[in-house]
Chains A and B, each alone.
Chain A
């Protein structure tokens, strides 16, 4: 985990700062997803969580983040992707987002972190044709970075637990 973190920090510093938005990307089911790096508080390895009774399936439970109780959400389950066993690369991205005037700190479980890109948000293409998919509300846009396509996420929607997730895949593998 430590090396993982170090490499990310390095890239944050290396990334150019000409006013573009920086995105942290991570891998999930072979797809690369990105989120605004300013929302990211820290990245942690997977640790045991305390189950919260009667919580939605995508809520793993709560962890202790230096005295604060932080719920952890499995992004795969939130998106309706098949669950996998947590391994050495499994990370919890701790993000803080203002939802309904309250700042909430939550953890997102993803397969592995990937990279940091500076992306001109203008170039982010609108969400294509899956408007009918309920999951499209979690997607802010799509961008091409070199040969790859990155799905930019709408964290506010993902962390607002009143927004229901769907069983469909966002982007077909």
Chain B
């Protein structure tokens, strides 16, 4: 019987990655010297199921590597070995390594085993000594590794059959590990009158010659541990005589005295290879697109659909009746109920995509641990609001910017323990991640109790970079804002942690791409707080409907700074007919939407139109529209799916009357207008303005 195992691959990988996450989280909880046996057990179980799964699916490289890991964990669990910080580090590295192996296998690539092999060597050094022989199974090649003979005494308790276990299967499984010689003891079988066919009266002494470790043998008997007496011992050395000659079983079965004193004679045969690697399927496994949903969410959806059906039935019934005052009122009531049901249903469908933010938060303990070690800083990480839910897509995209901000806090924000003591602070710095809902948004705060932003330094740097003039009077907030400008880093030197060419500007851009915003508050010597605000989902946005000629467009509310009527005298032309509005002390380029979108019939006189000032990538531009219409939440639909990418348009939506309306993409619009100088982040207008002024 052959089953196509590849259909289970997705589940295996999903579970394995979950297992690795569990291992990582629990390893971080481990305090060498004060380890909790339950924690070790959890780690062991996770490793064990990864090993089992990868063995089943033929990923031998993973199975073999996990095996060494497991051996060490097993020894720690049994108290045979003391856990050290070194072990934890090594285990953490192994988790990374396994993750890389599994990722490669999932993508159906050949995994790079060099790292795994290096780590294996380290494990073997630790395991060393007498254990090394039994644990040295990582190298899967049968030659060059010695087979050993184990004596296994297996005496099931009479009730074994009732637990659904069958010794025959265990024996046949054992025989797959190597050469097996079995001796059954039948002396416990009672007289026929006393014989109970449901009891097990047999016991065995087994001699197994195998290159597999002792743990592989134990594993087979794992399920019957409580229902049998089992002992596995290594027979001393290799023997010369013939097996059959000396295989005289002892009449008494004494499991206590089984050490290699009975010299048996067994051919040293090569153990069969562990399950051969299954040929990889050619099917490309795409990025994980499945989602695990709590059954309660599904239940509530089913309830809601039930309600909806009832309401619909009621409305149908009303529709069939003679129209009277009463039916009309009932109909209106029914429609209100329908609206209510629909809204509930919408909210709950959205909730399916929502996952607790702990999925993102959970990667930070590791990051903080590694980074603080590198920086020689003592850091405590606090996680708050881990159960706050966020759309899966948003979650995937927010984690990179968050990593950057946390690294930044550790590197720039927190002081060294010495500096902290000098400043009268606890030598252990605190980084807090906090998530909560506010309005229709999720707010994520990254707080540190470090030195705060150095406004003087930022200002000087900004002046040096020509971002501001030395004479500019800026408020603290405005100065702090400067760190989000391109090419800005306050780190004096490029370190391993920051200064890798990714700046705060990229963080801000990534967050803005999610229709979110990020801002910073800081107090000198007290710490800084980065606040990220994100929409709960990418499927819905708050939009401002505007009229351009006879067309209705939607501008994302989050990018709108203000809307105003234009005073002609404040508009000047620079360069190639580019109009610029002087707004307070800023120059705002005016983009005539009807021109960019090639629509006829729009109002062209500036003073009869409205200007919607929007901001994108730190650039403000004004969009000229005929009129402002309503504001409303819109469901984002893809225009690309059936059509193609349209410059300046990010998607479409359907308005209340069923018409399609397009959503304006501000940064795409700036590109479309040719305002941006190619290859830079600068707006052309800034250069033009300089020329115009001089």
> Which A positions have Cβ atoms within 8 angstroms of B?
48-55, 59, 61-64, 67-71, 102, 104-106, 161
Contact = CB atoms under 8 A, between A and B. Distances in A.
A71 B642 contact: yes
Contacts of B649: 52-53
A51 B551 CA distance: 8
B647 A69 contact: no
A106 B659 contact: no
B646 A50 contact: no
Given A63-B660, A64-B659, A54 B597 contact: yes
Contacts of B552: 50
Interface in B579-601: 596-599
A70 B646 contact: no
A39 to B, nearest CB: 14
Contact of A48 (B639, B659, B661): B659
Contact of B660 (A59, A64, A106): A64
B285 interface: no
B641 interface: yes
B652 interface: yes
A114 B597 CA distance: 37
Nearest to A55: B646
A52 B663 CA distance: 11
Contacts of A51: 551, 599
Contact of B644 (A49, A50, A161): A161
A69 B637 CA distance: 7
A64 B659 CA distance: 6
A106 B642 contact: yes
Contact of B597 (A53, A62, A104, A161): A53
Q: Is the interface of B mostly helix, strand, loop or mixed?
A: loop
B658 A54 contact: no
Nearest to A67: B654
A69 B642 contact: yes
Contacts of A48: 659
B485 to A, nearest CB: 31
A59 B662 CA distance: 15
B556 interface: no
A54 B646 contact: yes
A28 to B, nearest CB: 22
Contact of A62 (B596, B599, B639, B647): B639
Nearest to B548: A53
B642 A50 contact: no
A69 B663 CA distance: 13
B642 A52 contact: no
Contacts of B652: 50, 62, 69
Interface in B631-662: 637-639, 641-644, 646-649, 652, 654, 658-662
B643 A50 contact: no
A105 B654 contact: no
8 contacts: A50-B551, A51-B599, A52-B643, A53-B598, A53-B648, A55-B646, A69-B654, A104-B643
Contact of A69 (B551, B596, B638): B638
Nearest to A65: B642
B642 A105 contact: yes
Nearest to B659: A50
A69 B551 CA distance: 16
Chain B CB within 10 Å, residue with most, of A48, A52, A55, A61: A52
Contacts of A105: 642
A69 B660 contact: yes
B599 A53 contact: yes
Nearest to A161: B644
A2 to B, nearest CB: 19
Interface in B536-565: 551-552
B539 to A, nearest CB: 12
A67 B652 CA distance: 11
Contacts of B641: 68-69, 102, 104
A151 B644 CA distance: 28
Contacts of A61: 660
A94 to B, nearest CB: 10
Contacts of A52: 639, 643, 646, 649, 662
Given A53-B599, A63-B660, A64-B654, 15 more contacts: A48-B659, A50-B551, A50-B659, A50-B660, A50-B662, A52-B639, A53-B596, A53-B662, A54-B597, A54-B598, A59-B643, A64-B660, A69-B641, A69-B642, A161-B644
Nearest to A159: B642
Nearest to A70: B642
B643 to A, nearest CB: 4
Top 10 nearest A-B pairs by Cβ distance?
A53-B597, A50-B660, A71-B643, A69-B652, A62-B660, A64-B654, A104-B642, A105-B642, A69-B637, A64-B660
Nearest to A62: B660
Contact of A68 (B637, B647, B661): B637
Interface string B169-186: 000000000000000000
A55 B639 CA distance: 12
A53 B598 CA distance: 6
A64 B639 CA distance: 11
B643 A67 contact: no
A105 B637 CA distance: 14
Nearest to B635: A67
